[in-house]
Structure 1
């Protein structure tokens, strides 16, 4: 059993855990969460994690980052950290580092998740195929898209495909967003901020300043208009997930992302499945695809460790 550090770097928090790799699986230890704003960079946060752990850290790390990871420098969107991949192992004082985009990490997590951590949403209630193509779609700050093709993770930018309205309400939503942004991608709608835009069209009122409060009211069911907005959000997510599945030739679909787990008790009872299937002449094919939702509490950490294991095998 090999031990590494799994790291998941977001805009506000960085998460650490020890991970064991062996026997084709990944095991995660207890999670440590630190605020990125409290540290000058990853190396300082790494040292703080080691101090809290009270023991020497392993000589390798799998790191998921909420940014593209293919440049000479990686600047995170919502904090001041600057990472230089070529120098990162030396800065951390370790031998090996594997970097992965945060949503590609979710795809790696899907590859190693137990079936019990993939909750059925719609379509046939069967396990994910262990070969073939699985589309992974995840609403959060934006809309993450990746695919798991015959065991290989491929990052994608499907969140930037164009939004296609399906009725008069969505026509109005498109017009509202087009007036502000010009071209309207699906992540303008199927993301954290998208709920407020949907709510504005349904109610005729401008979005509240705090998206989190609207999400809380929608998820709790305490606000009928917020709940109606959430139902529409899930319906559009179903339409988008179906489009991506068609474009990628998927045999199954997994919903993840920062909002995925929060939607677990809502998406199956919404119009998600109907809109996922509503693809005209291909409706029968779409009805045959299983759609599941990843319920692992830390797919970013799990995926960071799994990405390291995949790189180690390559």
Structure 2
């Protein structure tokens, strides 16, 4: 019987993979290139002073497997040996992690690069389509996800590789288009006068939107948390909460359409994150799809582009695992983001 060919990789197994967001950190270990990931309990970032403590408690203390490498996806820019997270107090020190956690090497990438890696291979069972588009297998793709913030990334195909394109697309301007929008916009909390996508399309953004809707109607807001707004919509007890959910999905559709145009994403635009999966049963899919397609003079192009919701439970970890197993299939630049002992 012929031996299995070992895949090429520049990382040593076992590999610790981690998806580090503003609120939660999720970890798994790949024992070898053929093993399924071993997942660990989600760590709340506010519970731990450092990422090193979270890894020790949630991973190393829970298994006899000692990882030799780590690939971490983080919500924030990667510049130098001290890496700050955008919406979290943690600071990642890769050289310290190597010295103190017994690792030989650490790779750090942007969290939405990991989401982009994941959408290279998501099947129908891991995604749900909104509306109808024409999926083109080798075409460019994009992913965006409302969470603690709003992440955006692209995925392009070149030289037989998938190349993730990271950026800060969640901070592009989001403007008023309808009369109702123009009533709401003056009441939105801004950043130095700007209403960016992230000011509306994330957890705190949903609260910002809801409260602006209330103020536009001369009412005092009742809710201060995203879960309260969602619950009020589910029970049908608050018209302003209902409108906030409706407009959230419409504005997300608009922004997803903008990102589709940036990348000519004929392979689809994918929406990630737990917030949107939670409100998916509450939205009007037809109106969201209409907002996605309403991009004159390119409406005909937009009608062909698929819009998906990612239903995979841990898409970022799936993307990191795919990269760790077969890095040659991905044009992921690691210069300045790869530390060795």
TM class, shorter-chain normalised? 0.7 to 0.9
Verify: 1:62 aligned to 2:78, yes or no. Answer: no
Q: Which residue pairs with 1:84 in the alignment? A: 93
Verify: 1:189 aligned to 2:200, yes or no. Answer: yes
Matches within 5 A, 1:118-267: 118-124=127-133, 128-150=135-157, 151-177=162-188, 181-203=192-214, 204=217, 205-207=219-221, 208-219=223-234, 221-251=236-266, 252-267=268-283
Q: Which residue pairs with 1:36 in the alignment? A: 45
How has the CA–CA distance of structure 1 residues 219 and 305 changed in structure 2, closer, same or farther, with 3 Å as cutoff? farther
Select between 221-230 and 62-71 the one with higher mean Cα deviation. 221-230
Cα shift at 1:121: 1.1
Deviations 1:191-222 (A, max 9, x none): 22232333234333354333331133235545
Select between 289-298 and 196-205 the one with higher mean Cα deviation. 196-205
SS of structure 2 residue aligned to 1:164:
coil
Select between 254-263 and 213-222 the one with higher mean Cα deviation. 213-222
Cα shift at 1:293: 0.9
Q: Please say if residues 40 and 59 of structure 2, whose CA atoms lie closer than 8 Å, have aligned partners that are also in contact.
A: no
How has the CA–CA distance of structure 1 residues 230 and 284 changed in structure 2, closer, same or farther, with 3 Å as cutoff? same
RMSD across aligned positions (CA): 2.7
Which TM-score applies when normalising by structure 2? 0.80
Larger proportion of helix: 1
**C-alpha separation in 1, matches of 2:23 and 2:189:** 30
Q: Please say if residues 28 and 37 of structure 2, whose CA atoms lie closer than 8 Å, have aligned partners that are also in contact.
A: yes
Matches within 5 A, 1:6-21: 6-19=17-30
SS of structure 1 residue aligned to 2:64:
coil
Cα shift at 1:148: 0.8
Verify: 1:290 aligned to 2:301, yes or no. Answer: no
How many residues matched? Answer: 310
Select between 194-203 and 89-98 the one with higher mean Cα deviation. 194-203
Which TM-score applies when normalising by structure 1? 0.87
Q: Which runs of 5+ in 1 are unaligned?
A: none
Cα shift at 1:137: 1.5
Q: Which runs of 5+ in 2 are unaligned?
A: 1-5, 7-12, 332-341
How has the CA–CA distance of structure 1 residues 50 and 258 changed in structure 2, closer, same or farther, with 3 Å as cutoff? closer
Q: Please say if residues 73 and 82 of structure 1, whose CA atoms lie closer than 8 Å, have aligned partners that are also in contact.
A: yes
**C-alpha separation in 1, matches of 2:237 and 2:286:** 17
Verify: 1:303 aligned to 2:322, yes or no. Answer: no
**C-alpha separation in 2, matches of 1:178 and 1:217:** 22
Cα shift at 1:256: 0.9
Deviations 1:253-295 (A, max 9, x none): 1111342322332446351101111112211111111111111
